[in-house]
Amino acid sequence: MIIPFEHKSQAHCESGVTSNLLKHYGLPISEPMAFGIGSGLFFGHLPFVKINGVPGTTYRIYPGQIFKNVCKRLHIKSNTQRFSTVEKGMQQLNENIQQNIPTGCQVSVFYLPFLPEVFRFHFNAHNLVIYGEENKMYYVSDPVMDNKCTIAYDDLAKARFAKGMPEPKGRMYYIKEVPHNLDLDTAIKKGIKQTCMFMKSPPVPWFGVNAIRFLSKQILQYPQKLEPRKATLYLGNIIRMQEEIGTGGAGFRFLYAAFLQEAASQTGNTNLAELSQVMTSIGDQWRNFAYNTARICKARSSDVVSYSELSAQLNRIYEAEKKFYTQLANVY
Amino acid sequence: MNIEEAPQHKRDFKDGNTSPQKVLYVTNADGSYTQTNSDGWEVENIALQQAWEEIDLQLEEEKQHIKNGISSPIAYYMIKNRMDIGILAAYVGKWQWQVKRHMKPAIFNSLSPSLLKKYAAIFNITVDELKSIN
């Protein structure tokens, strides 16, 4: 059984899957729109959550939130399930396909043979759509791939039930019913408000704009606290989270700028168009930061001056983003 | 970032695979956003290269440790599978301190066949391969 499903390659997995699923049901929601309404933008730096010995940095919200928020804010009926066993999880996926329901799955990239090896780490928050099954071979629309792919039962089962944070536990999600009319304006407003709140309000240093300042202070200490090999590894991970495939560039900042632009023409609010331009320049700042960071990584440098320059550069991004979310919050 | 600035720096990884292309959001000359394809960016390539070089380095270190009787092959295969102790312990269904113990050669040699089989399955190798590191 193969469901006719249109694959479109997108920048980011979860907003891409959400957009592609909605289009399947006739709702023309672009990827930036799904990302913005779903409040996908974020920043977090968690020095105590180490992945392969390196502190975690994120530029996006927790997995699953984008799809959930978009459905809630556009009054789309959806269902999300997790499973206690592999058999139940695969059985339910098969039943969905039999019922013509393309289904989103949270997976680990480590077990996806169609991805180049270079990307295959234990990153468990990837998303793709399963739209068919024949003789234990599953048909996949993965937004970061140029074309549709296939995956064997065993690989898909491993990917869906991978261990380690965030554990997918076979999480799958799909759309049950879509409304006749979409109130995009209200959904845009809700999405923006939540992003502003998440970026501005957290009273702890590890989340929101404060985390950008926090990371900039951490970087300052790297040359003293860490041996050069470790310090450059820490830096390298920041770049990977920011620029690796699936971010749309500059840690999702360009994706968000694209959303604001589309939101401006949808709502007729010119403030949003201006703020889109501000976000674009913030994205460019992040790109410059990544560029300078990579130079240090390549030189394997532990030169204190270059680390303090990097830290200062990141602090300027903090200032810019802080101002940005205050302005954005004032639009509504 | 303007559409003309979208970098086209192909990855140069050992498997030679340069697909897929990356989708980037960029601005046209009139400032409107659009999707474009990128072969990659040297900045990202450097960071990826570095992560893989680190794995190779750690594998060499573990080989030495095994030779010197400090580590068991579990330490080596854990890194080969890009895992850390937390992830490996979750797969084995043991506490982290137990997995750490299994990385000591003396303890490793006394592991039950069923546990060895479990480790081998997680690393997608045979028990014989688990006992050697080539």
pLDDT, residue A26, reads 95
* pLDDT tens by residue, chain A, 332 residues: 999 999 999 999 999 999 999 999 999 999 999 999 999 999 999 999 888 889 999 999 999 999 999 999 999 999 999 999 999 999 999 999 999 999 999 999 999 999 999 999 999 999 999 999 999 999 999 999 999 999 999 999 999 999 988 899 999 999 999 998 999 999 999 999 999 999 998 899 999 999 999 999 999 999 999 998 899 999 999 999 999 888 888 999 999 999 999 999 999 999 999 999 999 999 999 999 999 999 999 888 777 779 999 999 999 999 999 999 999 999 98
- Closest chain B CA to residue A295: B43
Residues A236-267 as b/e (b if ≥16 CB within 10 A, e otherwise) read bbbbbbbbbbbbbbbbbbbbbbbbbbbbbeeb
Asked if residues A55 and A152 have their Cβ atoms less than 8 Å apart, the reply is: no
Residue of chain B whose Cα is closest to the Cα of A293 = B43
Looking at residue B116, its pLDDT comes to 97
Distance, CA of A128 to CA of A172 (rounded, Å):
10
Write out chain A residues lying below 8 Å of B11, CB-based: 116, 118
Q: Residue A44 and residue A67: Cα distance in Å, rounded?
A: 20
pLDDT value for A71: 97
Residues 6+ apart with CB under 8 A from B107: B72, B101
A244:B11 CB<8 A: no
Of A112, A95, A231, A240, nearest to A168 by C-alpha is A112
Residue B109, min C-alpha distance to chain A (Å):
26
Interface test with A, best of B1, B4, B9, B25 (most A CBs within 10 A): B25
Confirm if A166 and A56 have CB atoms less than 8 A apart.
no
How many Å apart are CA A189 and CA A277, to the nearest integer? 18
Is B87 an 8 Å CB contact of chain A? yes
Of B15, B26, B91, the CB nearest to A116: B15
Position A332 scores a pLDDT of 87
Using DSSP, state whether B112 is helix, strand or coil. Answer: coil
Partner-chain contact B24 A52, CB within 8 Å: no
The burial class, CB within 10 Å (0-12 / 13-18 / 19+), for A202 is middle
Which pLDDT score, from 0 to 100, does residue B134 have?
60
In chain A, what residues touch B62 (CB-CB under 8 Å)?
A: none
Which pair of structure tokens corresponds to residue A322? Answer: 């802080």
Q: Are the Cβ atoms of A144 and B23 closer than 8 angstroms?
A: yes
Residue of B21, B31, B48 lying closest to A118 (CB–CB) = B48
CB burial class (10 A; 0-12, 13-18, 19+) of residue A92?
Answer: middle
pLDDT value for A70 = 98
Residues in B closer than 8 angstroms to A285, CB to CB, are none
| Average pLDDT in chain A | 95
Rounded Cα–Cα distance for residues B14 and A259 (Å): 37
Instruction: Confirm or reject contact between B58 and chain A (CB < 8 A).
Output: no
Q: With CB atoms and an 8 Å threshold, state whether A240 touches B51.
A: yes
Spatial distance between the Cα atoms of A93 and A78, rounded to a whole number of angstroms: 15
Q: Are A192 and A36 in contact (CB under 8 A)?
A: yes
* Contact state of B13 with A32 under an 8 Å Cβ cutoff: no
> Cα-flanking dihedrals φ and ψ of residue A316, to 5°?
-65, -35
Q: What is the DSSP string of B10-74?
A: ----TT---PSPEEEEEE-TTS-EEEEEESB-HHHHHHHHHHHHHHHHHHHHHHHHHHTTS--HH
Chain A environment of B25 (Cβ under 8 Å): 11, 32, 248-249, 254-255, 257-258
Q: Of B73, B51, B54, whose CA–CA distance to B62 is shortest?
A: B73
Q: Which two tokens stand for residue A75?
A: 């009054």
Query: What's the pLDDT band for B133 if we cut at 50, 70, 90?
Result: confident
CB contact under 8 A, B82 and A52: yes
* The pLDDT of residue A82: 97
* pLDDT tens by residue, B37-84: 999 999 999 999 999 999 999 999 999 999 999 999 999 999 999 999
For residue B131, give every residue at least 6 positions away whose Cβ sits within 8 Å of its Cβ, in sequence order, or none.
B73, B116
**Chain B residues within an 8 Å CB radius of A236:** 46-47, 50-51
User: How many whole angstroms from its chain centre is CA A77?
Assistant: 22
Which residues in chain B have their CB less than 8 angstroms from residue A257's CB? 25, 33
Given phi > 0 = left and psi -120 to 50 = alpha, else beta, which region is A104?
Answer: beta
